[in-house]
Amino acid sequence: MIFQGLEPDVRFVDLDNVSRIRFPGNSRYALDLARFAVDMAENMPSRKAFEVFMVAYSSSTGMDARVVLEDMRSFYKKISLKHKIKYGHNVLSLESLAERIL
């Protein structure tokens, strides 16, 4: 739960197939983040929520947000295409989702 005032803002997070990063340079983190980003793009109320998440993630890992976005770009495209085929709707592109970060 996130508190940004008096009322809590409840967010659900899909943690299926998420794993701990075992060593630097492991692309697994980018796959996990891409899955999460696609879920956010489909369900979030605004792009601002994604930006806030990326800034928080980047600062907590010490990684530049632009590098993280570049690492997850190909995974994001593949996952969003699968969602389009499976569910019949488009997912925002990563460029649109993170336009203020890029």
* Tokens of residue 2, six digits: 């996130």
Total residues belonging to the chain: 102
Structure confidence by residue, pLDDT tens digits, 26-41: 678 889 889 989 988 8
Domain assignment present for 33? yes
Q: Would you call 47 helix, strand, or coil by DSSP? A: helix
What pTM did the predictor assign?
0.73
The reply to whether 52 falls in a domain is yes
Structural domain boundaries enclosing 31: 2-97
User: Considering the domain boundaries, does residue 89 fall inside one?
Assistant: yes
User: Is 92 part of a structural domain of the chain?
Assistant: yes
102 part of a folded domain = no
Residue 2, beta-bridge partner list = 9
Please report, in tens digits, the pLDDT of each residue of the chain (102 residues total): 444 555 555 555 666 665 565 545 667 888 988 998 998 888 876 788 888 888 888 888 888 889 889 999 999 999 999 989 998 888 888 888 888 776
83 near 91, Cβ under 8 Å? yes
The structural domain count of the chain equals: 1
The verdict on residue 21 lying in a domain is yes
Q: State how far the Cα of 41 lies from the Cα of 54, in Å rounded to an integer.
A: 13
- Distance of alpha carbon 71 from alpha carbon 66, whole angstroms: 9
Return all residues near 48 (Cβ < 8 A) that are at least 6 apart.
none
51 found inside a domain: yes
